[in-house]
Amino acid sequence: MEKEKKKKLLAEYKQQQKKEFEASLPIPREIFLDLFDFLDQELESLTCYDAFLLRNYV
């Protein structure tokens, strides 16, 4: 019984933290999602140059 109570309290805490974080964002969540979708599309169209890979500097 105690284990289930802890699990429930932890889930409630995580949900509260998520709500507080989203409330602190400077723009609505939907705009962030649209922004990341846009960035994904734009970055997929760019090519990655091998000269910038970490293994070339190590």
CB 1 within 8 A of CB 8: no
- Is the pTM of the predicted complex or chain greater than 0.95? no
What pLDDT score does 27 carry?
92
Residuewise pLDDT in 10s, the chain (58 residues): 699 999 999 999 999 999 999 999 999 999 999 999 999 988 888 776 666 666 666 5
Q: What is the pLDDT of residue 43?
A: 84
Give the per-residue pLDDT at 9: 96
Q: Where are the domains of the chain?
A: 2-56
Give the distance between the most distant pair of CA atoms in the chain. Answer: 58
Q: What is the C-alpha to C-alpha distance for residues 7 and 15, in angstroms, rounded to an integer?
A: 12
Quote the tokens at residue 22.
Answer: 């989203």
